Amino acid sequence: MIRPMLALLLLCGPAAAAGTVSGPATVIDGDTIEVQGTRINLYGIDAPETAQRCETANGQEYRCGSKAAQALRARIGSGAVTCERREGGVPGRVTGICHVHGEDLSAWMVGQGLALANRQVTAPYIRQEGHAWATRRGIWAGTFEKPADWRQDRRRVEAAAGTSAAD
């Protein structure tokens, strides 16, 4: 059994053995992409959900989740994305550090103020988040609910109403 697996790893090459996937990407939301049929959560960040709304400094509501996804889509463009799988994400989901043109997409999203650094998983993006906050970029320019809190509130409302996102 071990020999056939070793042969398979040798045939697939080092990228497959290391858990790397590369190719064109489809943006699902502000922190999720799909590459070569694999849905990947961007490592170490949490972006507003697609339906989530935030407020500008002037109190105007806008769809910050949609804006985050649009910005990620524009940043990737038609470039090939390379993702290296990482541990520490949501159980049951593939999590990866993804790059386009050599740039870490998670770091870029946080630096633009389009996502939060996930302190429970990793700390590398906290500096970018601090800079985005200090310069009032993206969601830091106004008010917002943390995406994790927004999801939890949404689940409570759905449970009270007897519905779910799948309905």
CATH number for the domain spanning 65: value is 2.40.50.90
Range of the domain at 129: 15-151
The answer to whether 105 and 83 have CB atoms below 8 angstroms apart is: no
Average pLDDT over residues 125-144: 96
State the pLDDT confidence band at 164, using cuts at 50, 70 and 90: low
The answer to whether 86 and 95 have CB atoms below 8 angstroms apart is: yes
Q: How far apart are CA 62 and CA 54, in angstroms?
A: 6
Instruction: Convert the pLDDT of each residue in 26-53 to its tens digit.
Output: 999 999 999 999 999 999 999 999 999 9
97 assigned to some structural domain: yes
Q: What are phi and psi of 162, to 5 degrees?
A: 75, 25
79 assigned to some structural domain: yes
132 assigned to some structural domain: yes
How many domains does the chain contain in total? 1
Tokens of 128: 């970018």
78 assigned to some structural domain: yes
Instruction: Convert the pLDDT of each residue in 94-119 to its tens digit.
Output: 999 999 999 999 999 999 999 999 88
Residue 108: CB atoms within 10 A of its CB come to 21
163 assigned to some structural domain: no
DSSP string covering 51-67, please? Answer: T--EE-TTS-EE-HHHH
| Higher pLDDT pick, 162 / 73 | 73
Q: Is the pLDDT of residue 58 over 50?
A: yes
